[in-house]
Structure 1
């Protein structure tokens, strides 16, 4: 299953890399997300091969045209399909497995039937894709033989917190909290070696809104940090969360997910947000054909990306994003009609326990600063264990965060190890269990050795450094 809000090719690096190299048939699902953005002015969208097509053609995702005189927005499948796709992520994984069996019968007619009785199915994903495979683990029927979930975004039945809750919390408080002295050595929290001016402004906004007490900016930052500690955040998660803060990911996630949960169209998104083509100077414009052609290939599926940006009508003052973020947070805390729709959408994503006896390996970085380990993977594993699911095993990886791609930056590569190697090893061991009957690996905490950073760059990373099981 694809990670994040990515499209059908999102799982290639993990599922494709491991599966194809082991002679497996690999079936991908975008789980109802993806990069087939629609220009609501013309109805142009993405064909199934990624090229642009007209509204009259079969498209990956289609949506009604903008009304006459209305602002033409860009519709994004995860946010604007009206389906709340996250509620059905497990079913999408099951559909991919069924599709794979039918393709195998077509490709190898002399060897059919391909059924769940003679074909092994292992579901694998990272981040949202990992949440999807854990939701698939709930589905009865004996169709699934094993699950590997890396850094899963999952809302467990007990002990965790849903993504929307802690993302909107982080979006409000983290810019301020990261100005606390505890993060003076965190590179992403100290651009240019100084505390963030946005963080100072955010502390002032929180104080003016009655969310922090009065005091100097340093004192307010410490108050915000203490508040987040009380909500279950660790300093390790906050430090890694500086990546999401620096790249405005909290707001990006909150805007898309609020609309997805509320099942709103592109022209009726919560808090007045909408998506439009925005150039490097921040100017909204009608997207060109070349820009539209790049949406499918270059976007992550969640704006801002590939020239599609977030338009926030609430922006004003020294902390322009604050009012919009308050509105998004209110959708979790208030009880008006729209807030209740969002909360109902979140509740539809609540996980059930995996099928009894199903082997499941869950892996999560202890320092994950986007999908928080204590709220998600760690909470899921503890809940499953407490409810007798003794085939669920959990690896907690210290000094690991969410984004392997950022580890090419020396300042991050020297602080964190990548999660994908653990995903590959987990698949090796799940394969050995499912195909060869070998015992499942035990749950464990893994303490790797971080790479040294010198004038010549980062030291090479070895299997010994990773302490792979």
Structure 2
């Protein structure tokens, strides 16, 4: 990664709005809702510790990360505040040019109460977190519940910048699930994991977010155990069930919080399922089995596999890890941010072209020819120019390999044992070498990590790493070959991936899908487009918005130069929620599917006119 980008910090801009209301009743001895494997924890959040931003407001979210008074032993309140800060910063563009809070979006203070627990699906070995945020301004006349799942592999607050930011100020309760992933890392050396309140504890003392059983064999390479990779559960196959369980938890928690309004049911409470990225895929999978629970579903850039032309994430991610570095050296990407370092080709990408040639996968004689050949190979498998423009960030940040490492272990269900292709996960020192995690490092994992390595001082151990410029080649090739390997490991991986393929939702359920055309992580041509076409071919009528010049990570738009060529996707996600709300509560017609024309932001501050067809222009 470009060191200038790594050092970039978002500048603060002041904006704070205030919401108020009446607190719900917090039961002293709550009844255990179905499926929980821990006590339900309640906490009240007012003033400087509200639901939406933990009291930070937009100005605080734009500033430096909240500090811990004791870095080795932060309090639950400190951890919650920083987890919310990290989740906002991982999803939204809060930079000074991005327009958040001025052109779209807001971060008002929303006081209220949280109800959280560990829940467990039947057949799963590990729990997932569920959380209900109930604002004091809950609208008892228009009883609204938004159910969401974290984006990526993030922790429980991973959808707060979308579902929370939209629902809480409107008086909706918002239910969250980490869908079997999350940042509750287990430190194998000390035998510690994460309590319900985010602080660390020894295995066996009380329920933890994730811990291998004491008799489970732990690979010596896995000094840090990550639930998505090491649970052995293949959580992606159960994303829909995670969302359904979170919704049912929320209804039961509402019964206890507001007994004078009970019971809360699908018949008397409007329930909208909404998610971004993997969370978007999760709510679409939940739509297959909702049995009338939901009134509508909004999925933004969803990781979903269905229909003709659809491809599984592991299929195209492992392919891109091999060929995208070389393909992006083609002259057609000369002006693409992240594809050049100070106008020069990244040395590792040049080396990848040679490696592909030496291994008989390309045949060109020079870098330019090899890049063109690699690009042709990706285009033949469905990659478009816009998708590859977006993929420059994914490639430059080595996200393809990070995704493939975690997902290969999840699909192969290797648990805490040896991960496929000789990989492991461990705390890393400044020289990127594994070392025993310190108490300070481990304390911040829950609040700071994204649920997937590398990040928050935790990195990927690659035993196939070789000397030279193309060090990641052997491991990346091994991961790609798993997709076609006829052996037991390859067959197990394929069987797990097949369980992630979508089924049809009920035909009366309103579904709204929003996707950016420049998405280079979950390309629209492999996910939303074939999914929407498949629904239409089977008699359903989804709304599908394709947004020009929008890519996967709004947060990346704050990087110098990168936001110039794009617009954020969150405005369209919020607009889709507005339309679904109007449809659910006022029977307003949903809009037609459309390609939304936009104007790239350029070097100045985002203006509303650049958002094109955004409702309200």
TM-score scaled by length of structure 2: 0.74
Matched, 1:333 2:504: no
Q: CA deviation at 1:461?
A: 2.5
Tell me how far apart the structure 2 counterparts of residues 68 and 29 of structure 1 sit (CA, whole Å).
27
2:210 is matched with: 61
Other-structure match for 1:447: 597
- Is 1:6 matched up with 2:157? no
Structure-1 residue corresponding to 2:277: 127
1:35 aligns with 2:186: no
The SS at the match of 1:111 is coil
Query: Displacement, 1:72?
Result: 5.3
- Structure 2 CA distance for aligned equivalents of residues 380 and 170 of structure 1: 21
Distance 1:158 1:88 in 2: 23
CA distance in 1, matches of 2:231, 2:509: 32
Quick check: 1:221 aligned with 2:367?
A: no
- 1:52 and 2:200 are equivalent in the alignment: yes
Greater percentage in helix? 1
1:283-327 Cα shifts (integer Å, max 9, x gaps): 211001110011100001100011110000001132110000111
Structure 2 residue matching 1:193: 3-state secondary structure: coil
CA offsets per residue over residues 147-193 of structure 1, 9 Å max, x none?
00000000114330000000000000011001111111112101110
Q: Which runs of no fewer than 5 residues in structure 2 stay unpaired?
A: 1-148
Alpha-carbon distance change, 70 to 401 in structure 1, aligned in 2, over 3 angstroms:
closer
Structure 1, residues 41-78: CA drift from partner, whole Å, max 9, x if none? Answer: 23200111111111112101111457599455211001
Alpha-carbon distance change, 410 to 71 in structure 1, aligned in 2, over 3 angstroms: closer
C-alpha distance in structure 2 between counterparts of 1:355 and 1:465, whole Å: 33
2:528 corresponds in structure 1 to 377
Structure 1 residue aligned with 2:607: 461
Whether the aligned pair in 2 keeps the contact of 1:42 and 1:55 (CA below 8 Å) is: no
SS of residue matched to 2:525:
coil
Question: Would you say the 8 A contact 1:90–1:136 is kept in 2?
Answer: yes
Equivalent position of 2:167 in the other structure = 19
Q: CA deviation at 1:200?
A: 1.2
Q: 1:126 to 1:68 in 2, by over 3 A?
A: closer
Q: For the Cα contact (< 8 Å) 1:212–1:220, is it kept in 2?
A: yes
Structure 1 pair 41–424 and aligned structure 2 pair: CA distance change class (3 A): same
Cα pair distance change 1:190/1:71, threshold 3 Å: closer
Q: Distance in 2 between matches of 1:237 and 1:252?
A: 19
Equivalences for residues 51-200 of structure 1 within 5 A: 51-56=199-204, 57-64=206-213, 70-71=220-221, 73-200=223-350
Q: Distance in 2 between matches of 1:452 and 1:341?
A: 47
The equivalent of 1:295 in structure 2 is 445
The equivalences for 1:197-212 within 5 A come to 197-212=347-362
Q: Greater CA deviation, 191-200 or 77-86?
A: 191-200
- Residues 333-391 of structure 1: CA deviation (Å, up to 9, x unaligned): 1111101111111101000112111000001001100001000011111111111112x
Counterpart Cα distance in 1 of 2:156 and 2:315: 27
Q: Over the residues paired in the alignment, what is the CA RMSD in angstroms?
A: 1.4
* Offset of residue 208 of structure 1: 1.2
1:352-431 maps to which residues of 2 (within 5 A)? 352-390=503-541, 392-431=542-581
- Does 2:408 align with 1:258? yes
State the SS of the aligned residue for 1:191: coil
**SS, match of residue 270 in structure 2:** coil
Rounded Cα–Cα distance in structure 1 between residues aligned with 2:560 and 2:488: 47
Between the aligned partners of 2:411 and 2:219, the Cα distance in structure 1 is 27
Please report the TM-score for the alignment, with normalisation by the length of structure 1: 0.97
Alpha-carbon shift at residue 463 of structure 1 (Å): 5.4
Shift in CA distance, 164/67, structure 1 to aligned 2, threshold 3 Å: closer
Cα separation, 1, equivalents of 2:462 and 2:365 = 30
* Offset, 1:278: 0.5
Q: Which runs of 5+ in 1 are unaligned?
A: none
How many angstroms does 1:410 deviate by? 3.9
User: What is the aligned length?
Assistant: 464
Tell me what 1:308 maps to: 458
